[in-house]
Structure 1
Amino acid sequence: MKIKSLYSLIAILLALIPITYFGIKLTSPSNVTSQHQTIIFIHGYGSSASATNSLAKQTQQDLGIKNRLKIRINGHGKNNLENSKLSSNGNIIQLEFTDKDTSEQDESKYIASVTKALKAKGISAISLVGHSMGANVALRYLETDNYSTNKYPTVHKLVTIAAPFNTGIDQPDDIRKQFKNNSIDSETKLPKLQDGNFKFFYKNKDNLSPILQILNIYGDVGDGTDGKISNFSSESLNLLINKEHPYIEMKVTGNQVQHSEIRTNPRVTKQVSKFLSNT
Structure 2
Amino acid sequence: MFLLLFCGLAGAFSQPVHAASKTKPPVTLYLHGAHGTKRSMTPLVKAAQWDTNASVITAKVNHSGQVKFAGHWRASAKQRLVKVVFANNRTRNYDTIATWLHTVLLGLQQNYNVRQFNVVAHSLGNAGLVFYELKYGQDKQLPQLKKYVAIAGNFDGIPGKHRGQHANWLTPSGKPAWLAPDYQFALKHRQAFPRGVKVLNLFGDHHDHQDGKVLNASSQSLGYLLRGRLASYHTHTFYGKHATHSGLRKSWKVADMVDHYLFNS
TM range (shorter): 0.7 to 0.9
Do structure 1's residue 228 and structure 2's residue 217 form an aligned pair?
no
Q: Name the TM-score, length of structure 2 as normaliser.
A: 0.82
Closer, same or farther: CA 262–168 of 1 in aligned 2, 3 Å: closer
1:118 to 81, 102, 108: 108
Matches within 5 A, 1:193-272: 193-245=178-230, 246-272=232-258
How far does residue 256 in structure 1 lie from its aligned partner after superposition? 0.7
- The AA in structure 2 aligned to 1:149 is D
Alignment root-mean-square deviation, CA: 2.3
- Structure 2 distance, partners of 1:38, 1:147, is 17
**Could you report, residue by residue, the CA deviation over 1:173-195 in whole angstroms, capped at 9, with x for unpaired residues?**
xxx24x21113467x86333211
8 Å contact kept, 1:148–1:154: no
Q: Which 10-residue stretch deviates more, 44-53 or 112-121? A: 112-121
Closer, same or farther: CA 87–119 of 1 in aligned 2, 3 Å: farther
- Structure 2 distance, partners of 1:185, 1:232, is 10
Matches within 5 A, 1:22-33: none
Q: Name the TM-score, length of structure 1 as normaliser.
A: 0.78
Report the counterpart of residue 21 of structure 1 in structure 2: none
**Could you report, residue by residue, the CA deviation over 1:217-252 in whole angstroms, capped at 9, with x for unpaired residues?**
000112111011111111111111123521011110
8 Å contact kept, 2:56–2:80: yes
How far does residue 64 in structure 1 lie from its aligned partner after superposition? 2.0
Report the counterpart of residue 140 of structure 2 in structure 1: 150
- The AA in structure 1 aligned to 2:129 is A
Do structure 1's residue 96 and structure 2's residue 81 form an aligned pair?
no
Do structure 1's residue 190 and structure 2's residue 175 form an aligned pair?
yes
- Structure 2 distance, partners of 1:183, 1:257, is 19
**Could you report, residue by residue, the CA deviation over 1:238-273 in whole angstroms, capped at 9, with x for unpaired residues?**
111123521011110023111011101110011000
- Structure 2 distance, partners of 1:213, 1:52, is 21
- The AA in structure 2 aligned to 1:123 is V
Do structure 1's residue 140 and structure 2's residue 131 form an aligned pair?
yes
Q: Secondary structure of the residue that 1:80 maps to in structure 2?
A: strand
Report the counterpart of residue 58 of structure 2 in structure 1: 70
Report the counterpart of residue 85 of structure 1 in structure 2: 72
What is the number of residues matched between the two proteins? 239
- The AA in structure 2 aligned to 1:51 is S
8 Å contact kept, 1:73–1:97: yes
Closer, same or farther: CA 157–189 of 1 in aligned 2, 3 Å: closer
- The AA in structure 1 aligned to 2:96 is D
Q: Which has the higher contact order (CA 8 A, sep 6+)?
A: 1
Give unmatched runs, 5+ long, in structure 1: 1-31
- Structure 1 distance, partners of 2:132, 2:74, is 24
- Flag as ranges the 4+ runs of structure 1 deviating above 3 A: 83-90, 168-172, 183-186
Closer, same or farther: CA 219–213 of 1 in aligned 2, 3 Å: same
